[in-house]
Structure 1
Amino acid sequence: MASTKGKTVKRRRRIGLGIALAVIVAVGLVVGAALATGGEERAEAQPPFMGVTDPKAPYDLRFIDEMIMHHQGAIMSSAGMIGDSRRPELRDLARRIQASQKRQIQQMETWRKQWYPGAGASMMGMGGMNMMGRGAMRGGDHTDRMFLRMMIPHHQLAVERGQDALENAEHNELRGLARVIVDEQSAEIEEMERYLKAWYGDASTRDLAGPMRDMMGGMHGMGMPQRSPTG
């Protein structure tokens, strides 16, 4: 029984890390397409939302639903790093990401129930990402590097969305959370950029935030269920 449980935990870790690698591959393809279109398109302003929530829903409800989904992706990926990375710095970072973002999810879920009691049940669309991630693991230093390359633009998306919420959110409480997200994840981006440069000589991947947003919205268009604003 204990052996079966251990195998299940390891499998979940590998799936979580596989998702990180799958995102990097997909983002790379989108980046290539973006470069081919020329600089003018890349300079256009990006929308604050990924397009996985109903545009007719209230701003704060959309922010909550998309940020919960965004946080859950980071939690899933960081769970594998806690168990598998050989670098103590990354294990510590992953633990901090887990602790902070789990607390924020709980807070947002509470507000969702209080502010939007008539909103439909939340629905997540992670299945497709799980399927993409299976078999993508190589482990070791390669996985650590891919985690950093993925998590930097993933955090940047949260920073941009938080900055937008500072201007547009209706509830003061949500604006307060947005400030925490911006400050906390900006600091973590800088930390990850230092690791990426020191360990691998890589430049920052912040610029992949836009293509990553496009990719996530595209996954919804291919059949990912969205969070419904009404029952």
Structure 2
Amino acid sequence: MNKQTHVIFIGLLALVIGFGGGYLIRDQRTPGIGNHMMPDGSMMSQNIDQHFIVQMIPHHEGAIAMAEIALERSKRPEIISLANGIIEAQQKEIIDMQSWYQSWFGSAPPQGGMGMMHMGGMEGDTAVLASIPAAEFDREFIEQMIPHHEMAIMMAQMLQASTERAEMKQLGDNIITSQSREIQQMANWLTTWASQ
């Protein structure tokens, strides 16, 4: 297991514990998140939604940063179209999550949450994308974006299994549907390009 994979695994484990283990890991920078349980041991829906938003906003921000580099560096129209789609969809989802957080929890989402992009694994990826030789960029972008999308899908599946808010269920469904489709597109491109 390389360093990046190890970091992502630790982050996912924290999420699994948070959503499925009956409690949330308390982040001192994130007031109100952690250790609240219903009498039957289930998570309070509020904390599930709160924790997910704190995780997903920086994760989306990371995808947007990667997509913005793709707009600058890629020459393939399909990559440019994908990058524009990622930016548009995920910026809207960030705005929605920020608005919901303010409405439901009475404050703006905390900056520098425990999302995957802030755990030391993905910041280095944007540096690689910015500096890798042009001929290698598109493959590197896809090989980074596919696992990034897979992580978001896993997080969204955990959310759907636990949340009671219709808005969050719809958000989870949107993430799973759109990012699964994009993963398939990217995998198909890699196969096509390898045969050229």
2:63 aligned residue: 74
Bigger RCO of structures 1 and 2 (CA < 8 A, at least 6 apart) = 1
CA distance in 2, matches of 1:151, 1:48: 25
1:149-200 superposed Cα distances (whole Å, 9 cap, x missing partner): 0100110111111111111013111111111111010000000111112113
Q: Distance in 2 between matches of 1:138 and 1:75?
A: 18
- Residue 161 of structure 1: aligned partner: 155
Asked if residue 142 in structure 1 is aligned to residue 142 in structure 2, the reply is: no
1:99 aligns with 2:88: yes
Structure 1 stretches of 5 or more lacking a match? 1-24, 35-43, 202-231
Deviation >4 Å, runs of 4+: 48-53, 124-136
Percent identity, please.
29
Change (3 A) 1:135 1:92: closer
1:178 is the counterpart of 2:172: yes
Give the deviation of 1:95 after TM superposition.
0.4
1:187 is aligned to 181
Task: Show CA shifts across 1:32-88 (max 9, x none).
Answer: xx9xxxxxxxxx9x8276998746171111101111111000000010101110111
SS of aligned partner of 1:122? coil
Aligned position for 1:113: 102
Could you tell me which amino acid in structure 2 is paired with residue 76 of structure 1?
A: A
Alignment of 1:1-231 (within 5 A): 26-27=3-4, 30=6, 47=16, 54=27, 56=34, 58-117=47-106, 121-123=110-112, 126=118, 130=123, 134=127, 137-200=131-194
Residues in 2 aligned to 1:145 and 1:122: alpha-carbon distance in whole angstroms = 31
Structure 2 length-normalised TM = 0.71
Q: 1:109 and 1:187, CA in 2 relative to 1: closer, same or farther beyond 3 A?
A: same
- Any conservation in 2 of the 1:53–1:66 contact (CA below 8 Å)? no
Question: Is the contact made by 2:156 and 2:175 (CA closer than 8 Å) also made in structure 1?
Answer: yes
Give TM-score, length-normalised by structure 1.
0.61
Q: Does the CA-based 8 Å contact 1:48-1:160 persist in structure 2?
A: no
> Is the CA contact 1:78–1:94 (under 8 Å) kept in the aligned structure 2?
yes
